Each structure stands twice: as structure tokens, then as C-alpha cells.
Structure 1
Amino acid sequence: MSRSKGDIAETKACEFLNSSGFKIIEQNFYAKKLGEIDIIATKEKTYHFIEVKSANNYEVAVNNITPTKLSKLKRSIDYYLQTKKLDVNFCIDVIIVVDEDIEFLENITL
């Protein structure tokens, strides 16, 4: 997927989150040598670390959420929490964007 398509998907994801009562804290947090966290948001005292996936269909997008990707994301989250000195409740979420459809998969596990 091209960078511009990814940016469009992230914009749609942020609009969805804002309209659902989330507060966007940060986008595209890069953890050195670990990876990137697409969106960091809060709602009801919980931090949500959100991976955004976009593709031509749902199945392709959801299959791009691999154990390796989730492992890198978890390490990036640990790095973020450590550098920001945060001790908070958090979960890992995924937003799938296919055309105009958005699917929010909340609190996925490794």
C-alpha cells in the first residue's frame, strides 16, 4: 500500500476515533529500531495503542496483522510507556479501513 493511501486510512481512523469519544494523543510514534505506533489515544482513563490497516478487502487487511507485527507493536508500546514514564491501563486495538468502511477491533491480544 502506498504511503498516501496509508495516510488517508489513518485520517479516517482518527476521524472515527474522535467521533467515538477518543482523544488523540499522538500519531506515528516511532520507537527506534522497534517500529511505529500509528495512533495513541485515550478514552475513559485507558490508553489505546492503535494499528491502522487498509487494503482492498477486509480479509487482506486483517491478515496483515501478524504475530510478528503485534510483537513489534508491543515492544514499541513498552518503549513509549517507559520514555513517557507512564503507568497506565492500556490495550492494543486495530482499525481496518476498506474504502469507506471502518471496523474497530478493540483489545486484541498477542
Structure 2
Amino acid sequence: MSRKKGDIAEEKATAFLIENGFRIVERNFYSRFGEIDIIASKGAVLHFVEVKSGQEYEVAIQNITPTKLSRFTKTLYVYLKKSSLDIDFCIDAIIVTPDTIELVENITI
């Protein structure tokens, strides 16, 4: 996904999360392992969100590979350590297509 398309998808995902009761904590957190698109909280849970977009849902979600998820997980632990947090968390994905925005909670591969 091009950077511009990615930015647009992340803006839509951020608005979607806010509309659904999430509080945005941080965006585009980087570590040497990778990037977390959105970090949000809802209740007592921190949500680490990967945003993917595409013309079709299936194509977009297939871009979350085991390698990507491994790097993402390492990055979230860097964030937790840097922030000195001991909190419940989950890894989510938001899939943005031309017609829909869907939150997939607690993803694993």
C-alpha cells in the first residue's frame, strides 16, 4: 500500500475507533522491529492496531503475515517497556476497503 493510501486508511481507522468508544493513545510508534499504526485504549485494555487496506477484505487481511505479526509483537513489547506499563492488551486489525471498515479483535496467527 502506498504511503498516501496508508495514511488515508489510518485516518479512517482512527475515526472509526473514536466513534466506537476508543481513546487514541499514540499513532505510528516505531521501534527497530517495526511500526504500530495505532495504540488505543478502551476500558482497562490497551489495543495495538495494525491497519490494512485494499479493494477487497480478503486481500487486505492476508497482508498480515506471521512475520509481520512477530515484528508487531516485538514492537508492542518495546512500547510497553518504554512506557513502563503493566496492563492488559490485545492485538487488533482494522481492515479498510472502499465499502467497509472492520475491526478484527485479538488476532493471532
Which structure 2 segments of 5+ residues have no match?
Answer: none
- Are 1:60 and 2:59 counterparts? yes
- Matching residue's letter, 2:20: S
Q: Give identity over the alignment, percent.
A: 58
Partner secondary structure for residue 59 of structure 1: helix
TM-score, structure 2 as length reference: 0.97
Provide the rounded CA distance (Å) in 1 between the counterparts of 2:21 and 2:52: 21
Give the partner amino acid of 2:97. Answer: V
CA RMSD, 1 decimal:
0.7
Task: Identify, as 1 or 2, the structure richer in strand.
Answer: 1
State the alpha-carbon separation in 1 of the partners of residues 14 and 24 from structure 2. 7
Give the gaps of 5 or more residues in structure 1.
none
Q: Which residue of 1 aligns with 2:5?
A: 5
Amino acid at match of 1:43: K
Aligned partners of 1:45 and 1:76: how far apart in 2?
20
TM superposition outliers: structure 1 runs of 4+ over 2 Å: none
- Alignment match, 2:80: 81
What is the TM-score when the length of structure 1 is the normalising length? 0.96
| CA distances 1:43-82 after superposition (whole Å, capped 9, x unpaired) | 0110000000001111110110100000000000000000
